[in-house]
Structure 1
Amino acid sequence: AVATNSATSALHIAYLALGLKPGDYVWTTPVTFVATSNAALYCGAKIDFVDIDSRTYNLSVDALLEKLLVAERDGRLPKIVTAVHLGGQSCDMAGIHALSQRFGFKVVEDASHSVGGKYRGEHIGGCHYSDICIFSFHPVKIITTGEGGMALTNSPELAARLSRLRSHGITRVASEMTHLPDGPWYYQQLELGFNYRLTEFQAALGLSQLSRLDEFVERRRGLAEKYNELLADLWVTTPWEHPDSHSAMHLYIVRLKRDRAKLGQSEVFERLRTAGVGVNLHYIPVYRQPLYEAMGFDRRDFPQAEAYYSEAMSLPLFPGLTDAQQLEVVQRMKAPIGHQTIF
C-alpha cells in the first residue's frame, strides 16, 4: 500500500507504474468524477469510455466486450481499463479480469467510493482481479485524512515503482540503485517523479478513522435500507445491489421514473434544494465536459449513461445523518411544494 496526498495522485502514478505512454488508450466509465480520466491525460494517453450497466451504473462488461472486439479488429486495444466502483458497489471484477486475460490489458480499480466494501466476500483492495486498486480519503469519503489517497497492489515491483513516483522518482533502496551507495546518506533519482506524499499528520488522522470503518459502513448500509423502505411508494427507482457486492454505500442514488413523476428531473432537483434537501448528481458523464466534447465523443454511443444522467439524483447519506433527519428528507420529497407534489 502506497499512501498519497490524493486519489488523483494515486491514479496518476498507478497509470505510470503500469507503463502508460503517450498514445496509449485508457478506457473507463463515463459516469465518474473527471479525475479518473484526467490522470490518464496527464500521461499523454488517450481516453475512451465504455457504457454503463443499467442496474449497477458501473462499467458494463457486455459493453466492454463489444468494444474490445471492435478495437481488436482495428488495432487499438486499451493499455488499461479502469473500473470505477460507483457509489460504493464493486464492478463485475471477475468479468473484467477475464477479459483482461483474453485481450491483454491491465486493470485498475478506482475504489474511491468503496473503502470498506466487499466483492464476493472479500474486502475491496485485495487486488484479486486487478493490478492496482485506488482508495480516496477526501473529506466526503467513507473515511478521511483531510485529503489523501492510496494505491494498493500485490506486485512488489509495482509497489516499488509507485513509491518512487510518489517521491520525486527517488530511491534509498540500495538494490534499486545503479551502483553501490556512496554512504548511508545516499539516494538516487531514477526517474521523473512527483511530490505526492501523504503527511504523517494526515496518516495519523486516517488511522483513527480506520478504527471506525466498519461502524461507518454499517451505518451507511442501515440508512440505505431504511431509504429503500421509506421510498417504496414514490416514483423513484432505489439502488440495486448485485448479489456479489457488499456496497460501502458512499452514495444513495435514486432514479426518477420519468413516465410516472409529475415533474422533470431539473424541477425536482431545484424544488428539493429549495426545501432544504441537499440532493446532488453523481456524475455528469465525463464526455459531456467541454474538454472531452472537443475530443469528438458522440453521446449516442452511451445510451445507458445518457438515460442515467437524465434521471439520477443522490440523496443525503452520511453516518451522522440521524433517523429523524432521514425521515424529514423523505417527508419533504412527498410534501407539496407550492401547489404541486413532486411525485
Structure 2
Amino acid sequence: MSNPPFLPYGRQTIEDDDVAAVAAALRADFLTTGPTVEAFEAAFKAKVGAEHAIAVANGTATLHLAMLALGVGQENGGEGDVCIAPSVTFLATANCARYVGAEVVFADVDPDSGLMTPETLADALKRAAQGPFAGRRVRAVLPVHLRGDVCDLPGLKALADGIGAVLVEDAPHALGSVATFDGVAHPVGDGAFSSFASFSFHPVKTLATGEGGMLTTNDAALAARARSLRGHGMVRPAGAEPWVYEMPELGFNYRIPDVLCALGISQLSKLDRFVTRRRTLTALYAEKLAALAPIVRLATSPAWSDPALHLLTVLIDFEAAGTTRRAVVEALKAQGVGSQVHYIPVHGQPYYQTRYGALDLPGAEAWYARCLTLPLYPTMADGDVDRVVEALAGALT
C-alpha cells in the first residue's frame, strides 16, 4: 500500500485552462510586455474595486515602487524619512523602506492575531518621535494583513493622518479577503484607506502567476508615476514623435511579461472558487482542532475581518505540551504533513539588530514562540484536514 501524498503548507492550483492560457500567450505576438498585461490589470482592479492597478515583476517590486512613487526616502542627501512596519512579516515589508534610504521603526503586533493594531502603531510612533529619529518625517505606515486577516484600517489611518503619513497595505496574503467597517464591506485592495495596496502572485499565494505582483490605488497621479518607474522611469511626451521617450527620473525594470499575465487572468477567473474552498477548509480545521484546545488554537481573526486565509496558522503552547516546535515539525513531516513558521520577527534579524540595536516587542515574540502554519490550499480534500489534525495530535502526545 502506497503512502498518501505529501501535504505542503501551501501550493498553487494549476488546471488545464491555465495551461491553455499560457500556451496561447506563448503563440501570440507579445511574449513580454503587451496587451495581456493591461487586460490583467483591468480585470484585477475590477475584482477588488480599485481605480487603478499596476502589474509588476514580483511582490517585493510592488513595495519598492510604492515607496518610490510616494517619494519616501532621503531628500537632498540628508536624513531619511521613517516608515513603520510590523515586526511579524516577511523581510520585504521593512526592506522596501531601506531600499529608498528610509529608516524603519518596528511596531509590535497583537500576540494572538499577529496584526499591527492602533495601539502597537501608537507605541511605534511614540518611539519614532522620541528615539534617534526624533524630528524626522514619518512618511508611511505599512500594515500587513497577516495570513489573510485584515488590520484595523480605519484605526491605523486615523493615526497616520494625524502625523501626515500614508498607509501602504502589504496585502499578499489577503486577496479575496473582505473587511466590514461601519457597515460597509471593503474588499482588500479597494483603496478606501490607503495610498497603495500591494499583492504578490507567488505560487503559494491565493492567485499564482509564478512570480508577479500588483499595486492598486485610487490616485491617478500615483498610478502614473508607478507605471513610469516600473519601466526605467521612461515617459512618452505628449505630441512628440512616436519613437521619442524621456527619462525625467531614475526607474527600474520591474515589468511583468504577457505570458505570466495570461496565467493571472485565468487564475483570477477562479478566485471566488479558490476563496470559497479556503473558507470551507478553514471551517473544517476550526471544527477538528477544537479537540486539541487549549494546547492548540487557531490564530485570532478580528471581528471585522472575513478572511480568505492564505495561511492556516495555529498557536501551540509547546511548553504545556511537553515538546518543542522542532519536534512537532519533524513528527508532522514523518507523517507526510508539511508545515512552516510565519514569521521570524524582522526586528531580530542581524541586519536590523546591527542597525537599530536590540528591541523588546513582546507581542511579536509571543506570536513567534507559538505559531505554526499547517497545510491549506484549494485542492486539499476534506479528509486531508482530518489527516493533518490527527498527525498534529500525535505529534503533541
Q: TM-score, normalised by structure 2?
A: 0.80
Distance 1:245 1:208, change over 3 A: same
For 1:9, the equivalent position in structure 2 comes to 61
Distance (Å, rounded) in 1 between the aligned partners of 2:224 and 2:245 = 15
Give, in whole Å, the separation in 2 of the partners of 1:100 and 1:296: 23
Q: Give the 3-state SS of the residue equivalent to 1:135 in structure 2.
A: strand
Q: CA deviation at 1:220?
A: 0.7
CA contact (8 A) 2:209 2:263 kept: yes
Deviations 1:256-275 (A, max 9, x none): 12453121222222222233
User: What letter corresponds to residue 219 of structure 1 in structure 2?
Assistant: R
Q: Deviation of residue 77 (structure 1)?
A: 4.6
Show the counterpart of 1:251.
311
SS in 1 for 2:138: coil
Compared CA separation, residues 220 and 127, structure 1 to 2 (3 A): same
Determine if contact 1:82/1:107 at 8 Å carries over to the other structure: yes
Deviations 1:135-185 (A, max 9, x none): 1111110001111001111111100100000001011251xxxxx52x122
1:63 to 107, 110, 120: 120
Contact 2:109–2:363 (CA<8 Å) still a contact in 1? yes
Deviations 1:40-81 (A, max 9, x none): 111121112100012321112102113323434532452111
Contact 1:4/1:196 (<8 A) preserved: yes
Give 1:85 deviation, angstroms. 0.5
CA distance in 2, matches of 1:2, 1:109: 15
The Cα offsets for residues 198-239 of structure 1, whole Å up to 9 and x where unpaired, read as 111111110000010011111111111111110112121212
**How far, CA to CA, are the matches of 1:221 and 1:130 in structure 2?**
26
Instruction: Give SS of 2:279's match.
Output: helix
d(CA) in 2 for partners of 1:306, 1:55: 11
Aligned partner letter, 2:267: Q
Closer, same or farther: CA 206–173 of 1 in aligned 2, 3 Å: farther
- State the distance in 1 between where 2:103 and 2:366 align: 25
Shift of the 334–71 alpha-carbon distance from structure 1 to 2, 3 Å rule, reads: closer
2:196 to 132, 144, 169: 132
Query: 8 Å contact 1:24–1:78 — kept in the other structure?
Result: yes
Shift of 1:245: 0.7
Distance 1:54 1:71 in 2: 22
AA matched with 1:90: V
Distance 2:357 2:178 in 1: 33
Aligned equivalent of 1:342 = 396
**How far apart, in 2, do the equivalents of 1:173 and 1:252 lie?**
49
Q: How does 1:69-108 map to 2 (within 5 A)?
A: 69-72=126-129, 74-108=134-168
Per the alignment, residue 49 of structure 1 pairs with 106
User: Residue deviations 1:233-261, cap 9 Å, x none?
Assistant: 21212122212111120001101124531
Query: Residue 172 of structure 1: which of 232, 236, 249 is its match?
Result: 236
Instruction: Name which of 371, 377, 380 aligns with 1:318.
Output: 377
Q: What is the total number of aligned residue pairs between the two structures?
A: 331
What is the alpha-carbon distance in structure 2 between the residues aligned to residue 11 and residue 207 of structure 1?
22
Letter in 2 for 1:145: T
CA contact (8 A) 1:89 1:249 kept: yes
Contact 2:348 2:358 in 1 (8 A): no
Q: Is the 8 A contact 1:71 1:77 kept in 2?
A: no
Segments of 5+ residues of structure 1 without an aligned counterpart are: 175-179, 336-340
Verify the 8 A CA contact 1:68 1:103 in the aligned structure 2.
Answer: no
Of 86, 101, 125 in structure 2, the residue corresponding to residue 29 of structure 1 is 86
Q: How far apart, CA to CA, are the structure 1 residues paired with 2:290 and 2:306?
A: 21
Q: 1:338: which partner in 2?
A: none
- Does the aligned pair in 2 maintain the 1:68–1:77 contact within 8 Å? no
1:74-223 superposed matches below 5 A: 74-120=134-180, 121-174=185-238, 180-181=239-240, 183-223=241-281
Structure with the larger RCO, 1 or 2 (CA within 8 Å, 6+ apart): 2
Alignment match, 1:298: 358
The TM-score with structure 1 as length reference comes to 0.93
| Distance of 2:202 and 2:125 partners within structure 1 | 33
SS in 2 for 1:278: coil
In the alignment, structure 1 residue 40 sits paired with structure 2 residue 97: yes
What is aligned with 2:388?
Answer: 329
Query: Partner letter of residue 65 of structure 2?
Result: I
What code does the residue aligned with 1:18 have? Answer: L
CA RMSD of aligned residues (A): 1.5
% same residue: 42
After TM superposition, what 4+ stretches of structure 1 lie above 6 angstroms from structure 2? none
Q: Distance in 1 between matches of 2:115 and 2:223?
A: 27
Q: Answer with 14-23 or 237-246: which moved more.
A: 237-246
Query: Which whole-Å CA distance do the structure 2 matches of 1:14 and 1:273 have between them?
Result: 39
Please identify, of 258-267 and 215-224, the stretch whose mean Cα deviation from structure 2 is larger: 258-267
